[in-house]
Amino acid sequence: MILQDYGNNVDKTKPLILITNDDGIDAPGIMILFNIMKEFGEVIIVAPDKQQSAVSSALTIQRPIKVFPKYLNNELIGYAVDGTPTDCVKIALFTLLDKKPDLIVSGINHGLNTSINVLYSGTVSGAIEGMLMGINSIAISHQSHNYDKNLDGAKFVLRKVVQEILSNKNIEKILLNINIPDIDPKEIKGIKVTKLSNSQWIDKFEKRLDPWGNTYYWFTGEYIINDNSEDCDDRAIENGYISITPLSINFTDYKNLNKLKHFENL
């Protein structure tokens, strides 16, 4: 596959699709994603070797990063990285691949990444890294944390969206955050293009003791959906729709930019 280890059995005329996740390379969601993406081009997996949920865009800089080949039925399908999703995308783009991917897809994550969760999500951050490098990218998540759940809804929307992105040359540098409701795929009402909701976490940390009597804390926060607008992602999920939210990265607070100009004279 575009990597020297893959040999010459790669059709370089096909789109190259890089996939990653934050649940780890052995999570069932990424293998379902791998099989779907093979319908559209040559696919390479570069994903964390273990669970990396809620690491956001963290980078590994205090230790070496190890990379291990991943095989399926004696065929090399990608690499496991002992780092974060952002590490995986960076290593793939700048070390492992000898051409720029046409698309990056991160997922299929188990657990929603709606509203403020996009700031914490390793799944979304893997896609963000692709978008920052000028590559169309998708993050896709399913509402249930149960690995045995039916992901046909995710398969359906991925086929539609990926086909549109790869065939439409006018779509450039787009980042889509897709979330699938935890209902029977036959009951999904359709697709809603949404904004992020204004929901929030009520943070709580439960105090516990380990077997040796040492105190530790376990995050047990509660997620509160307090946005009643019908065009937000959380409400779309509640109402039985697949949510697709286009994301952009610009942290500048333009409302206060001019108001603070007097700071220059302090």
CA angle 122, 184, 198 (to 5 degrees): 45
Between the alpha carbon of residue 206 and those of residues 177, 209, 225, the distances in Å are 31, 10, 22
Question: Hey, what are 122's tokens?
Answer: 């390793």
> Mind giving me the DSSP string for the chain?
--SGGGTT---TTSPEEEEE-SS-TTSHHHHHHHHHHTTTSEEEEEEESS--TT-TT----SS---EEEEEETTEEEEEEESS-HHHHHHHIIIII-SS--SEEEEEEEES---TTHHHH-HHHHHHHHHHHTT--EEEEEES---TTS--HHHHHHHHHHHHHHHH-TT--S-EEEEEE-SS-GGG--EEEE-BPP--EEE--EEEEE-TTS-EEEEE--EEE-----TTBHHHHHHTTEEEEEE-------HHHHTTTGGGGG-
- Decide if 28 contacts 98 (C-beta within 8 A): no
pLDDT value at residue 125 = 96
The residues with which 190 forms a beta bridge, in sequence order, are 241
Burial of 194 (0-12, 13-18, 19+ CB in 10 A): buried
* Homologous superfamily of domain range 4-196+228-265: Survival protein SurE-like phosphatase/nucleotidase (3.40.1210.10)
* Alpha-carbon span 191 to 108, nearest angstrom: 17
Q: What is the pLDDT of residues 126-146, one digit of tens each?
A: 999 999 999 999 999 999 999
Q: What is the pLDDT of residues 32-44, one digit of tens each?
A: 999 999 999 999 9
Residues in the chain with pLDDT values less than 70: 1-11
Type of residue found at 189:
K
pTM value?
0.91
pLDDT value at residue 7 = 47
Q: How many CB atoms lie within 10 A of CB 245?
A: 23
Domain boundaries of the chain, sorted by first residue: 4-196+228-265
pLDDT value at residue 74 = 87
pLDDT value at residue 221 = 85
- Decide if 128 contacts 105 (C-beta within 8 A): no
- 7: alpha, beta or left, given left = phi > 0 and alpha = psi -120 to 50? left
- Decide if 240 contacts 189 (C-beta within 8 A): yes
pLDDT value at residue 71 = 93
* Alpha-carbon span 196 to 120, nearest angstrom: 14
pLDDT value at residue 1 = 47
